[in-house]
Structure 1
Amino acid sequence: MLIPKGTLVVSCQARADNPLHGPVYMAAMALAAEAGGAKGIRANGAEDVAAIRAVTKLPIIGIAKVWDDRFPVYITPDFDSAARVAESGADIVGIDATPRPRNGEPVERLIARIRHELGREVFADISTLEEGRAAAACGATYVATTLSGYTEETAPRKSAGPDFDLLSALVESVSVPVVAEGRFDTPDLVAEALARGAHAVVVGTAITNPREITKKFVRAIEARAGNGP
């Protein structure tokens, strides 16, 4: 198992509108995460994956976000996008493993091709227990709660913090390692996930997005100012 049990994985990603966007910054972020004790990195796109691979030996979960207004699935929707991140140095390929429409192969075929043709492990992002069971049955190496709150069916969960109910249900229901991901913004929440049986926890924004972290502090200051002395 490439991702050690009971560890932290840091998601090093920055969209084009973020001042930290680009492989140089993401490689530096990955190095900082490794120095802090992270045991894995999640990264988006072949360029970022290659830059991170050049500076660390930590396992990399590579994804490729392919935006298409016609389809809701954008996280590594097809084999070609999976191949690009694998060839750039990803040890594990992350995919959207929900059954939603995609511009690519069905989930079961995509998982099989990544495992057999690319020789990589598969990190299945799901949003429900049924999706997690299906991904595990299709051969996914890891099942992660990443998309809970980010699909139409699960949208109401987004404001409720991490989906611990889904995490616990998956731990009880599948034989593959279950990774907790999504809205983990404090060490206590990470500890809770591990106590509930998570193999590992992925944290992104709370560690690697200074802009959003700054906004959180500013909102707290403004809220206090609005309440008066």
Structure 2
Amino acid sequence: MQNTLNIMLLAVGLCSISAAQAKTIMVVGDSISAAYGMRPEQGWVHLLQQRLNQQYPKQHKVVNASVSGETTTGALARLPKLLSTHKPDVVVIELGGNDGLRGQPPQNIQNNLKQLVQKSQQSKAKVVLLGMKIPPNYGQAYSKAFEHNYKLVSTQYKVPLMPFFLENVAGNKTLMQSDLVHPNVKAQPILLKHAYPYIQKAL
């Protein structure tokens, strides 16, 4: 009888440990993470959930809070409710590209990124920053300032940064949709491969 009771207590304990280790990963991004131009299940965020299910069965939940066309300003307005609703353990920020393409002042983008990181950290979430680059439409100085924003924010708030999320994807016509702006279905496993080591480490 005592042995049976011990086994039951051990099982309850193991279940509690498993629940305590379970993590919620929230991706806050733009069209690149919102699976623009394809079915949601084809996008890299959905592939992330599948990968986690394989490696950590039933332990981690991925919330895709990405919106096509999203800017850092728009995400900042949405973030408090997202944090309150989902209570993520990890927040993956993939933003800034639309700001840059619209020529928003780099300082404004930097300030928004800082607040996105701050608010996420204040909610006790770890943050992963996926950096972006933009074409030199507004000149080399603007492009460099835009890119440097991610390094500054990463250093100041001590968050891991992937310098360029579209590395080896952007500019490759076989991996881009016809608009040459959005990655296609074939590119999604590559995007996951880029992001996964940073997310896994945060877990």
* TM-score, L = length of structure 2: 0.39
- Of structures 1 and 2, the one scoring higher in RCO (CA 8 A, sep 6+) is 2
Decide which structure has the larger Cα Rg and report it: 2
